[in-house]
Amino acid sequence: MRFKKRFSISGFIVLAIVGITLSAPLLSPYDPYGIDVGEPFLGPSWTHLMGTDDLGRDLFSRILYGGRITVLIAIAATIVALVIGTLWGMVAGVQRGWVDEILMRTADATMAIPQILFALVCVSAVGSSVISLPIIVGLLLSPTTARMARTAVVVELASDYVVAARATGLKKSRLIMTEVLPNIAPQLLVQLSINAAAAVMMEASLSFIGLGIQPPDASWGTLMLQGYGNLWNTNWYVFFPALVVTVTILAFNSYGERIRVSLDSRKSST
């Protein structure tokens, strides 16, 4: 029963995607950069599970390696968003007053800028690489994390246990680190999952318009762009990266939703 409660298909898929893509060098049947001009645009077969691209490169291997880049960017961006957003929201929620006002109005203003547009602004200024993309995407996701963290901190600070802890003379900084932060961790986990989905979506979008990861390196977005360019030669080329991107985003979103629902039901039962 306990196992049933904790087991979730979306969580399993998230783990599988992260595990498989990160171990790409072990699982990849071919060299992802290995050109075979004699075998372009092959359909799926036992030799090439997802077919080959315009240069005869094995698409399955390229998707595994591309996934490694996409997933690493998403993980790094999620960490950047989590650290900056949590700090941003916690400072606002703890300080309140004008500090809160300035920090939250800045978050509102940042959220009023459409993410893809802001990403274009940043990418055009600094260019795109495996270093700059996670930072840009992470920064863009941090205001929503900050809003969520601030609300959670404000709610926690008004709880009875915080009042009791303050009454025992516990320092505010210690109280935040040892009591409040662990208590808002589940909500941060929900945001983490939603942010990971948004990061995969943003990386894929930027790479799809040619402003993300540049060839010969490939992310899932880059593969989709190349597949889209070769749509009239083969359908499979674009189909598989599009499928893995959608499944990944869906898994992250569903996992976040599942944790949120279980948190809500736990709250209502208490």
Task: Tell me which residues touch another protein (CB under 8 A).
Answer: 105-106, 108-110, 112-114, 116-118, 120-127, 151, 154, 197, 201, 204-205, 208-211, 224, 228, 231-232, 235, 238-239, 242, 245-246, 249-250, 253-254, 257
Nearer to another protein, 64 or 249 (CB): 249
Instruction: Output 162 or 200, the one with its CB closest to another protein.
Output: 200
Structural contact between residues 162 and 171, judged by C-beta atoms closer than 8 angstroms: no
Residue 20 · residue 67 · CB < 8 Å = yes
Q: Within 10 Å of residue 206's Cβ, how many Cβ atoms? A: 25
Rounded to a whole number of angstroms, the minimum distance from the CB of residue 235 to another protein is 6
36: left (phi > 0), else alpha (psi -120 to 50), else beta? Answer: beta
Shorter beta-carbon distance to another protein: residue 41 or 239? 239
Is the CB of 178 or the CB of 246 nearer to another protein? 246
Q: What is the closest distance, in whole angstroms, from the C-beta atom of residue 81 to another protein in the complex?
A: 17
The pair of structure tokens assigned to 252 is 């992250």
3-state secondary structure of 98: helix
What distance in Å separates the CA atoms of residue 189 and residue 265, rounded to the nearest whole number? 16
> Is residue 82 within a helix (H) or strand (E), and if so which, with residue range?
helix 59-95
Q: Which is nearer to another protein, 119 or 165 (CB)?
A: 119
Cβ–Cβ under 8 Å, residues 111 and 103: no
113 phi and psi angles, rounded to 5 deg: -85, 120
The maximal CA–CA distance of the chain, rounded, in angstroms, is 77
Residue 197 CB, nearest distance to another protein (Å)?
7
Provide, rounded to whole angstroms, the least separation between the CB of residue 13 and another protein: 12
CB of 30 vs another protein, minimal distance in Å: 25
Residue nearer to another protein on the CB measure, 33 or 228: 228
Please tell me what DSSP assigns to residue 168: T
Considering the complex, what minimum distance in angstroms separates the CB of residue 204 from another protein? 6
